[in-house]
Structure 1
Amino acid sequence: MSIDWKSYDPKPFFDELIAAPGKPRPAARTLADYLASLDDAEIRERKRAAELAIVEMGISFTVYSEGENIDRAWPFDIIPRVIPRKEWERVQAGLVQRLSALNMFIDDVYNAQRIVRDKVVPEYVFANSRNFRKQCVGHNPPHGVWAHICGSDLVRDGDGTFYVLEDNLRVPSGVSYMLENRQVTKRVFPEVFESSSILPVDEYTSQLFDMLASISPRPLDYPTVAVLTPGVFNSAYFEHSYLAQRMGAQLVEGADLVVAEDDYVYMRTIEGLERVDVIYRRIDDEFMDPEAFRADSMLGVPGLMRAWRAGNVGLANAPGSGVADDKVIYTFVPAMIKYYLDQEPIIPNVPTWLCTDEKEREHVIAHLDELVVKPANESGGYGMLVGPHSTKKQRAEFAELIRKDPRNYIAQPTLNLSVAPTLCDEGLEPRHLDLRPFILQGVRTDVTAGGLTRVAMRKGSLVVNSSQGGGSKDTWIVDEEA
């Protein structure tokens, strides 16, 4: 399994590390030279060290299979993805621009609705949205921010251009794996970290705490912050406990909290009730408050919406922010940027067909074998059709679904997603990947230096989600001038 870059050929795809056989990209040269210096036994030893570290550190994720919850070790590839700092600075600016516009849109939707009145976004787009919450109309959260934590998925096409594939604004996950990937990689390749200028990601949890503190109703240096989890059987429970521990916050379930008659939120402790200032919720809107949403929810806190609307507790992300976490809304984000900020988008969208438009819908149905079709509100790679890898029967089923509910579907071209060298059972091979950076917005905006790179471990696959057989890599933003 020793690495010979001259025999590694990523064509016809854009490769994140290797420009052509035997030619590493400038930012990846130090890493590529180091990897090439390792023999077969050394590479296997590093791979084994990473696997042992993941088990030792307890890094896991949950797969739901046949009614059972199965905890699995986090799938990880030891060869990092490398992005030059100069290129990343532009991406970072584009992410800040995008989240700013999205938050302005959410605030507008629940208040003046200027963007609808000015016919930039059609009313049906959010009026028929599964995530529009009438309970949020007329509310003004601190700093005008609704989506405090965003994970926007980025992909590169064959020419190396970054595109935004989708925005995750409800309960974005994965940041703990980004942080743990870095710790594992430092154990595996300490020598490379000593000889390279790799931007750190470790400050994320302190930035997260500062952002949460900025929406506290009480001006305290250290407000009481709680991470609200659905519980140990949730697929992201590892992340919930990890972030709570790293922030010094309380990890709570719905039964641990109570909203009193004064509309303040309190946490049950062995010493009595303690007021909670900010809740980082990892529960969907529908389940967070049985008084306001689903009455049968056993996961939420009765009265939580009352406390939030009274300004007595900060919630991140705010209820209702999912109105912009919709793949139909996604198509209008470039227009939002122009409308609210009077700027051109720095990072473009992937070209998208809206199935609500009759002509576009018929085009999609006629070209299902070429396109990727996605439902508006699903996540995790579920419920979508990858046309070139689909059967005739699957395409016929999707054509019927689209005609039945056109609002629920968009379609995009099958991109030539970029690849990166990945250690597989067959040896070193190019595998497709994406990138999920995390953006925090409160009184200020912070962007992670890189993000969670997810990689399709199956040959030829474009699906990178861990629940669908994907893995991940550490992401290095390398300062070439350092």
Structure 2
Amino acid sequence: MDNQVLYEQAGQVNHALERYGVKFGVYKNGEFHEQLFPFDALPRVIPADQFARLERGLIQRVCALNLFLSDIYSKRCILRDGVIPPEFIYSSKGFLLACQGIRPPQDVYAHISGIDLVEAPDGWYVLEDNLRVPSGASYPMIAREIVRRVTPSLFEKNRVHENRNYAGLLAGMFREVQRPGIVVVLTPGRYNSAFFEHAYLAEKTGATLAFPEDLEVEGDVVYYKSFDGKKQRVGAIYRRVSDEFLDPLLFDERSVIGVPHLMEAYRKGNVALINAPGNGVADDKGTYYFVPKMIRYYLGEEPILQNAPTYVPYYEEDKAYILAHLDKLVIKDVSEAGGYGVVFGRDLAAAKREELRQAILAKPRRFIAQEIINFNDLNICLDGKPVPRKADFRAFVVHGQDIRVWHSGLTRYALQAGSFVVNSSQGGGFKDTWVLYR
């Protein structure tokens, strides 16, 4: 791989990304700002044998999480058997009682999972499971498309898995779970941070991009109203709207980006919702602690991929450990996302650390703590030279009749030297991920 060629093309690729409107939105101080998601031309390279193990572990993990969701909204055996404390689940912000008893098509809840991992010297660790509206697949897709145009020989010389098949994986899954009717991608609108992705994936999968006002429910059936007044039945909705705004008659009545009566159509089995409402209980940062136990409980297997060492102050023993080691741990607020609510105890002044201590004592269910994993740096190109930065990896897993792992993914890196926070909303950039084949 010729790094000099990659350095030289970085500017062209970023210029093209900006021209195509490949941006994300951020709300700051009550204002909406769009900004470029900086692209670094040096790809993350994952060897075939290493990715094969990741693939097995991801399939195992998503299978267990889906079984957990099916269980928790029906018989709740895992609670009755004492594997997870019931009050821990019922107090989760992501647990939706309104979803109790709903059986989605094919019994699939987590159709699209974004699993965040980091690579450390002793192997890969899972940091988070994203099972609601995981985003980011479009960025490596379009970046690869542009790089291929700029330097087509690059992919002829290297044994890199194709990444254009993600749209095919999605479209295939849509067909497997949809009810009679068309497939739509439901977007809250252009002021959503991931609007570019909504439009891009709708185009690539052949789905219809729909805004909330384009959909209506009649007789427990969802219809799409086109600009000419015609109506088409909708069989599946790839929704990019959060649970709480999805149906104002059942959830937040103030929502103007939801579809009234949508949940009733879903409950009657007349439309598939991708991903299923209520999935937030499974990607709650506190529930993350129990995923290895889920794998053993539902599958009778040992986890292939390991969690970061995690402590839950809900348990007195863990709470005591956290409070005694606040200066050495990273504390996460389970109600936050996008890199917000993540605090490194070592960076806090004594007074702020004491505030955090009191918050943990007052609301232990609100937090988890993790050992700091000194995950590997990847080189990025800065001013024409390679410099190391922390980077994570979001793998995308698509679940229809089978569970399939995309042989690509989103690698995010921190722009600031020494920073462990890689989220785009926190100023990070992204890379393509090259999965090699034998």
Q: Tell me whether the two structures share a fold, i.e. TM-score over 0.5.
A: yes
**Pairs within 5 Å for 1:194-209:** 194-209=156-171
Q: Are residues 44 and 454 of structure 1, via their aligned partners in 2, closer, same or farther at CA, if it must alter by over 3 Å?
A: closer
CA distance in 2, matches of 1:388, 1:237: 36
Amino acid at match of 1:140: R
Amino acid at match of 2:222: V
- Is 1:225 equivalent to 2:175 in the alignment? no
How much has 1:186 moved relative to structure 2? 2.3
**Cα RMSD (Å):** 1.4
How much has 1:234 moved relative to structure 2? 0.6
Amino acid at match of 1:167: D
Q: Are residues 189 and 371 of structure 1, via their aligned partners in 2, closer, same or farther at CA, if it must alter by over 3 Å?
A: farther
Q: Helix, strand or coil: the match of 1:327?
A: coil
- Is 1:268 equivalent to 2:230 in the alignment? no
Q: Are residues 44 and 136 of structure 1, via their aligned partners in 2, closer, same or farther at CA, if it must alter by over 3 Å?
A: closer
How much has 1:237 moved relative to structure 2? 0.6
How much has 1:43 moved relative to structure 2? 6.2
How much has 1:363 moved relative to structure 2? 1.6
Q: Helix, strand or coil: the match of 1:277?
A: strand
- Is 1:181 equivalent to 2:146 in the alignment? no
Please say if residues 185 and 474 of structure 1, whose CA atoms lie closer than 8 Å, have aligned partners that are also in contact: no
Aligned residue for 1:193? 155
How much has 1:44 moved relative to structure 2? 5.6
Amino acid at match of 1:202: R
Please say if residues 424 and 457 of structure 1, whose CA atoms lie closer than 8 Å, have aligned partners that are also in contact: no
- Is the radius of gyration larger for structure 1 or structure 2? 1
Aligned residue for 2:132? 170
State the Cα deviation string for residues 407-433 of structure 1 (Å, max 9, x = none): 010000111111111112483211110
Q: Are residues 433 and 150 of structure 1, via their aligned partners in 2, closer, same or farther at CA, if it must alter by over 3 Å?
A: same
CA distance in 1, matches of 2:369, 2:121: 19
Q: Which shifted more, 298-307 or 49-58?
A: 49-58
- Is 1:444 equivalent to 2:399 in the alignment? no
Aligned residue for 1:323? 281
- Is 1:367 equivalent to 2:330 in the alignment? no
CA distance in 2, matches of 1:63, 1:302: 28
Q: Helix, strand or coil: the match of 1:208?
A: helix
Q: Which shifted more, 332-341 or 417-426?
A: 417-426
> Of the candidates 13, 29, 32, which is equivalent to residue 66 of structure 1?
29
CA distance in 2, matches of 1:45, 1:348: 38
State the Cα deviation string for residues 45-70 of structure 1 (Å, max 9, x = none): 32221222212322111122222211
Amino acid at match of 1:74: F
CA distance in 1, matches of 2:146, 2:352: 40
Aligned residue for 1:18? none
Aligned residue for 1:120? 83
CA distance in 2, matches of 1:188, 1:464: 27
State the Cα deviation string for residues 17-55 of structure 1 (Å, max 9, x = none): xxxxxxxxxxxxxx2xx22xx3xxx66632221222212
Q: Helix, strand or coil: the match of 1:107?
A: helix
CA distance in 1, matches of 2:78, 2:419: 39
- Is 1:458 equivalent to 2:416 in the alignment? yes
CA distance in 2, matches of 1:44, 1:437: 25
- Is 1:283 equivalent to 2:241 in the alignment? yes
CA distance in 2, matches of 1:183, 1:391: 46
Q: Which shifted more, 312-321 or 355-364?
A: 355-364
CA distance in 2, matches of 1:139, 1:245: 30
Unpaired runs of at least 5, structure 2: none
Normalised to the residue count of structure 2, the TM-score between the two structures is: 0.97
Aligned residue for 1:250? 208
Aligned residue for 1:135? 98
Amino acid at match of 2:206: G
Please say if residues 385 and 398 of structure 1, whose CA atoms lie closer than 8 Å, have aligned partners that are also in contact: no
State the Cα deviation string for residues 344-382 of structure 1 (Å, max 9, x = none): 111111110001112211221221211111011321000
How much has 1:217 moved relative to structure 2? 2.0
Please say if residues 158 and 415 of structure 1, whose CA atoms lie closer than 8 Å, have aligned partners that are also in contact: no
Identity %: 44
State the Cα deviation string for residues 154-175 of structure 1 (Å, max 9, x = none): 111233x001111001111111
Q: Helix, strand or coil: the match of 1:421?
A: strand
How much has 1:397 moved relative to structure 2? 2.2
How much has 1:438 moved relative to structure 2? 0.5
CA distance in 1, matches of 2:6, 2:45: 19
Unpaired runs of at least 5, structure 1: 1-30
State the Cα deviation string for residues 113-166 of structure 1 (Å, max 9, x = none): 11111111111121111111111111211222111110010111233x001111
List structure 1 runs of 4+ shifted beyond 6 angstroms.
Answer: none
State the Cα deviation string for residues 180-224 of structure 1 (Å, max 9, x = none): 232233245433211111001111112101112211123xxxx40
Amino acid at match of 1:346: I
Q: Helix, strand or coil: the match of 1:99?
A: helix
Please say if residues 198 and 476 of structure 1, whose CA atoms lie closer than 8 Å, have aligned partners that are also in contact: yes
